[in-house]
Structure formats: structure tokens, C-alpha cells
């Protein structure tokens, strides 16, 4: 799966029309990747909330940056910047997975993709 920011906003704004997406993304937690198609920079994050990936991605659809420092700084450079973001899922896990267990695969992908040194991850 690979969603543009526009796709993500459409899903969030038209929940009833996309019930299957809402159900699927709400059912699982996971590790996700955001790629800035303008710079190539990447951000790896995890979703562990009660509504899984759906909840986390709705935060991005609403704010453009989801509150992440590196992504937020990038968005501050250009108000239209979130339009360049592409969202994908790297790994899913049960929503009941403990947060510290969920951080292990997130850290693995940050290391593997180099998002701390060359991307948008500050931690």
C-alpha cells in the first residue's frame, strides 16, 4: 500500500465511503513510513493507539505533520509541503502489543533505513 497525502485526507474526510479501509487500519497497530517525494527524506513511526494505524494517520491528515518534530519542521518551510508525503505500512501488529514491544520494530526500521542520520527521525 502506498497512499499520497491527498489519498489519506480523502479517507479521513469520507469515512463512510471507505469503511473497509477504516476497519482494516483501525484493527492493527504498526510501523509506517512517510517519504517526502520532493527531498527523498523519510520518517519511520509507529501506531499503538486504541484505533491503530487509522487513528495515527488521521492525525497526519488533519495537521500534515502528526506532531513529529522533523516532519513539522519540514512543513514549516512550506505550507503546501504535506502534499509531497507518501504513506506506507512497513509492519503490522496487534493493537494489544505493549508499547515497548512496538518500539522494537520501529527502531529496527529507523536503523535499517537510516532515518535518524539521513531522514526526519529525531529519536
Res 91: pLDDT? 97
Beta strands at 85-94 and 42-47: parallel, antiparallel or unpaired: unpaired
Residue 78 within any structural domain of the chain:
yes
Res 80: pLDDT? 82
Residue 66 within any structural domain of the chain:
yes
Domain residue limits at 95: 3-113
Low-confidence ranges of the chain (pLDDT < 50): none
Res 88: pLDDT? 98
Res 57: pLDDT? 96
> What is the torsional sign of CA 41, 47, 53, 56?
negative
Residue 118 within any structural domain of the chain:
no
Res 3: pLDDT? 95
CATH number at residue 12: 3.40.1440.10
- Number of folded domains in the chain? 1
Amino acid at each position: 500500500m502506498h497512499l499520497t497525502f491527498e489519498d489519506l485526507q480523502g479517507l479521513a474526510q469520507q469515512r463512510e465511503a471507505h469503511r473497509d479501509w477504516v476497519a482494516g487500519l483501525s484493527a492493527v497497530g504498526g510501523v509506517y513510513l512517510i517519504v517526502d517525494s520532493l527531498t527523498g527524506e523519510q520518517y519511520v513511526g509507529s501506531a499503538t493507539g486504541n484505533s491503530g494505524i487509522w487513528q495515527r494517520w488521521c492525525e497526519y491528515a488533519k495537521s500534515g505533520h502528526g506532531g513529529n518534530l522533523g516532519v513539522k519542521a519540514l512543513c514549516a518551510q512550506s505550507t503546501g509541503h504535506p502534499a509531497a508525503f507518501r504513506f506506507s505500512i512497513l509492519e503490522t501488529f496487534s493493537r494489544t502489543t505493549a508499547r515497548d514491544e512496538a518500539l522494537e520494530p520501529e527502531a529496527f526500521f529507523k536503523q535499517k533505513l537510516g532515518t535518524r542520520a539521513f531522514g526526519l527521525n529525531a529519536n
